[in-house]
Amino acid sequence: MKGINILNRISIKLGLLFSGVFLILLLILGTILYGVFTNLFVDFVSSDLIDQGSNHSKVLDNDFSKKMIGHVVSMDQNGSTQIVITDENQKILGSTVPLDAEMKKHLLKSKKEIVISDWKKDKYISTITTIPNKGYVYMFYRTNVLRETVSVLKSLILVTGIGTVFIGFGTIGFLSRKITQPLVIMKEATNQLAKGQYRQEIPSKGNDEIAQLASSIQQLGEQLQYFEDTRNEFLSAVSHELRTPLTYIKGYSDVLSKGIIKSKEEQTEYLAIINRETKRISFLVNDLFEMSKLQAGKFQLQKELANVNLIAEKVASSLRPALVKKGLELILTFSEKVPPILIDVQRMEQVVYNLVENAIKYTDNGFIKIRSFLENEFVVIEICDTGMGIPKEEISKIWDRFYRIEKSRARKTGGTGLGLYIAKQIIESHHGQIKISSVENQGSTFLIYLPRELKE
């Protein structure tokens, strides 16, 4: 985790936060406990003193003799409780210990039944019980016992607090490290992506948000790699596509310009080759131009009311020579019910042309069928062939830019892998859909769905 200040680490932040919260809770709990404990303790001691005092007073009320006083005093000779018995004038008649100054202060205080001292400051908690017409019983309890207990309690709370902070910090630190570890790996992976290392293996467990993020980053890398691969393939396809016609054009024009060929027919034939190859280049450049417009969003449809039957017919007749050359049969079935719809005629021609041209390119024997019909609210154009078909796993990819199935097959047949991508964009911009069903070595069927009521 280089480059990150230690205090900026999530594990440290979480550790501090949780330990802080623990500590505050503990302090609140400790204060409450402390208050409850001391109050209960003082209450308990005072009521115990009162009980003892009133017992003694009852006994002494019956018999206030010296002997009985001595007997009562001797009963409280141990522990932290002291007893002092006085007559009505507070003359001391008996006591468990010699009276200290604090005790004497209490004697003079008042004759109220209970005197509870401030246990934090005073040496004793004391109570006074009257022996009617005879005297008083003073009970004393040493507060240092309570103070010692409280100080033990305080130390306990402090030790628990420190312990909790350490354990909390350690546990949270450990847990959050477990959480942040994958984030660090992902950060590394994205750094690698930025450097062009698109294939990243990010280990992740479970299916929580972090695992999902890891898989998204991995997928992003795979997508980038895919685009990189297809772009490189595309560049090599484009240069190959350009090189072949350019070689022809250069070769034949060289021969013509040197005036070696005298025969008129041969000259015409050479010029026809140059013309055909120039057309090939121009198609490729058009495709590229079309694609760049699509990508830049500068794609505007020139819509007019037109019948798709006428468009399909026009495409069929312009491609008939290529069909005948390959010995393929052409079947046309156009429904009369198909109404004129608002479309960009030139672009629709381009789409149908592309699909029929593909059908011819990828079919060696059998037939090509072009059909039109109405299905619910859609005008449908179907282009069906009995060609090599498309492998199941490739079907979803054929709409991607530059995608071509098997380089060997693509090289033989030419093409740039842009045709279907452009076709899909054009149909979708008409609010339509283009679908395919294909079985390898049996043939393919492309279906164009155009809404009858085309929106402007």
Question: Could you list the residues that contact ligand ADP (CB under 6 A)?
Answer: 354, 358-359, 362, 385, 387-390, 398, 403-405, 410, 415-421, 444
Q: How far is CA 59 from the centre of its chain?
A: 81
How far, in Å, CA of 85 to CA of 65, rounded?
12
Contacts of 342 (CB under 8 A, 6+ apart): 303, 304, 305, 306, 454, 456
Nearer residue to ligand ADP within complex by CB, 138 or 403 = 403
Query: What is the helix (H) or strand (E) element at residue 138, kind and residue range?
Result: strand 135-142
The three-state secondary structure class of 206 is coil
Minimum Å distance from CB 316 to ligand ADP?
15
Nearer residue to ligand ADP within complex by CB, 135 or 417 = 417
How far, in Å, CA of 45 to CA of 50, rounded?
9
Nearer residue to ligand ADP within complex by CB, 155 or 396 = 396
Amino acid at 281: I
Minimum Å distance from CB 321 to ligand ADP?
19
Residue nearest to ligand ADP (CB): 415
Q: Per this entry, what is the length of the chain?
A: 456
Nearer residue to ligand ADP within complex by CB, 221 or 417 = 417
Nearer residue to ligand ADP within complex by CB, 143 or 372 = 372
Nearer residue to ligand ADP within complex by CB, 127 or 416 = 416
- C-beta of residue 227 within 8 angstroms of C-beta of residue 235: no
Nearer residue to ligand ADP within complex by CB, 146 or 359 = 359
Minimum Å distance from CB 343 to ligand ADP?
20
Nearer residue to ligand ADP within complex by CB, 127 or 363 = 363
Amino acid at 57: S
Burial environment of residue 306 by CB neighbours within 10 A (0 to 12, 13 to 18, 19 or more): middle
The backbone region for 385, taken as left when phi is positive above 0, alpha when psi lies in -120 to 50, beta otherwise, is beta
- C-beta of residue 383 within 8 angstroms of C-beta of residue 355: yes
CB atoms within 10 A of CB 5: 8
Radius of gyration from C-alpha coordinates of the chain: 51
Nearer residue to ligand ADP within complex by CB, 125 or 368 = 368
Of 451, 315, 302, 434, the closest CA to residue 375 belongs to: 451
Bridge partner residues of 329 (DSSP) = 367
How far, in Å, CA of 361 to CA of 371, rounded?
19
How far, in Å, CA of 188 to CA of 194, rounded?
10
Nearer residue to ligand ADP within complex by CB, 168 or 443 = 443
**Pairing label, strands 81-87, 92-95:** antiparallel
Minimum Å distance from CB 229 to ligand ADP?
15
Which letter, b or e, does each residue of 310-331 get, where b requires 16 or more Cβ atoms within 10 Å of its Cβ? ebbbebbeebeeebeeeebebe
Minimum Å distance from CB 406 to ligand ADP?
7
Nearer residue to ligand ADP within complex by CB, 213 or 281 = 281
Minimum Å distance from CB 390 to ligand ADP?
5
- C-beta of residue 314 within 8 angstroms of C-beta of residue 401: no
Minimum Å distance from CB 194 to ligand ADP?
31
Minimum Å distance from CB 438 to ligand ADP?
7
Minimum Å distance from CB 297 to ligand ADP?
21
Minimum Å distance from CB 404 to ligand ADP?
3
Minimum Å distance from CB 287 to ligand ADP?
8
